[in-house]
């Protein structure tokens, strides 16, 4: 059974974590599947948006805790796992000039929670939850959690979530601004598909620069950000989609963006 299912339809690359009996926990196979999907997203122009979700009742339970030889007294180098898999994955997701929508269908724990937060827009089912499970097994947040959480939720909430490993409901995650929104379980598939299709038929280059501008603002001064906006506007204003957007507005019709 493939650990990651990938399909492309209407510009949306649907990526489904597919180890449902282990709540889609990360193992090397799943990491390889994600790396292959990212390579496709990076190279295929037909891919204009990514939609990530999980098979079964969970989204992702973090690292597969059965994949380590815990009986051997030799110390494990977990840093090597991060270097080999999690860190390149998060960096590629952030650098990808295309939107990534995440549909969190169930529990997202440990690296699974932070993988979701590495996506650009997160929608969760009402029954889903987010757990910084690391502390429960004597680890620290990884997969970008110590970067994303304080920025999304503020220092106090990030600290308490990381230090307690308490479960955060999807409703609270929405209220705290950690995710875009939570929807009824029955609506998750349709809502996330609708958003992904909307983005896939949008002005792709513009969406890619919006993504970069929002993320770069975290470390830029206002002056640097204003310069960035000028440079991006200059660049995107030369694109076909800008001409099409204005023409469609003036002609009172729906724009047909091509991503160019």
Residues at the site binding ligand T3D, with contacts judged by CB under 6 A: 22-23, 25, 61-66, 68, 78, 81, 107, 109-111, 131, 133-134, 136-137, 139, 142
C-alpha–C-alpha distance, residues 212 and 232, integer Å: 10
Give the residue from 23, 21, 17 showing the smallest Cα distance to 3: 17
Contact between residue 91 and residue 38 where contact means Cβ atoms under 8 Å apart: no
- Under a CB-based contact definition with an 8 Å cutoff, are residues 114 and 142 in contact? yes
CB of 202 to ligand T3D, least distance (A): 33
CB of 68 to ligand T3D, least distance (A): 6
Nearer to ligand T3D, 22 or 205 (CB): 22
Q: How far is the CB of 88 from ligand T3D (least distance, A)?
A: 14
Q: Which is nearer to ligand T3D, 46 or 137 (CB)?
A: 137
By beta-carbon proximity to ligand T3D, the closer residue of 66 and 221 is 66
Q: Which is nearer to ligand T3D, 110 or 202 (CB)?
A: 110
C-alpha 129/C-alpha 106 separation (Å) is 6
CB of 31 to ligand T3D, least distance (A): 9
Distance CA 132, CA 114 (A): 8
Distance CA 100, CA 48 (A): 9
Q: Compute the distance between CA of residue 247 and CA of residue 89 in angstroms, rounded to an integer.
A: 39
- What is the Cα–Cα distance from 4 to 17, expressed in whole angstroms? 5
Sheet holding 107-109, edge to edge: 58-60, 107-109, 129-131, 167-169
Q: Cβ of residue 213: shortest distance to ligand T3D, in angstroms? A: 30
Please say which residue, 7 or 164, places its beta carbon nearer to ligand T3D.
164
Minimum distance from CB of 59 to ligand T3D (Å)?
9
* Residue 23 or 125 having the CB closest to ligand T3D: 23
């Amino acid at each position: 059974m493939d650990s990651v299912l990938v399909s492309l339809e209407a510009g949306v690359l649907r990526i489904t974590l597919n180890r449902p009996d282990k709540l889609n926990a990360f193992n090397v196979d799943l990491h390889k599947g994600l790396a292959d999907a990212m390579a496709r997203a990076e190279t295929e122009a037909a891919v204009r948006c990514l939609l990530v979700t999980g098979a079964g009742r969970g989204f992702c339970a973090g690292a597969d805790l059965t994949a380590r030889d815990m009986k051997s007294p030799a110390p494990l180098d977990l840093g090597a796992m991060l270097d080999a898999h999690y860190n390149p994955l998060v960096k590629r997701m952030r650098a990808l000039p295309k939107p990534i929508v995440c549909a969190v269908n169930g529990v997202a724990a440990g690296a699974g929670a932070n993988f979701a937060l590495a996506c650009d827009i997160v929608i969760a089912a009402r029954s889903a939850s987010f757990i910084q499970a690391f502390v429960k097994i004597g680890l620290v947040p990884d997969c970008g959690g110590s970067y994303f959480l304080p920025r999304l939720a503020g220092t106090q909430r990030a600290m308490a979530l990381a230090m307690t490993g308490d479960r955060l409901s999807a409703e609270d995650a929405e209220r705290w601004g950690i995710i875009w929104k939570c929807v009824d379980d029955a609506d998750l598939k349709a809502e996330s598909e609708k958003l992904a299709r909307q983005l896939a038929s949008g002005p792709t280059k513009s969406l890619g620069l919006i993504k970069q501008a929002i993320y770069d603002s975290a470390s830029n001064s206002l002056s640097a950000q204003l310069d960035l906006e000028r440079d991006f506007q200059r660049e995107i204003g030369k694109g076909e989609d800008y001409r099409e957007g204005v023409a469609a507005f003036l002609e009172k019709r729906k724009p047909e963006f091509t991503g160019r």
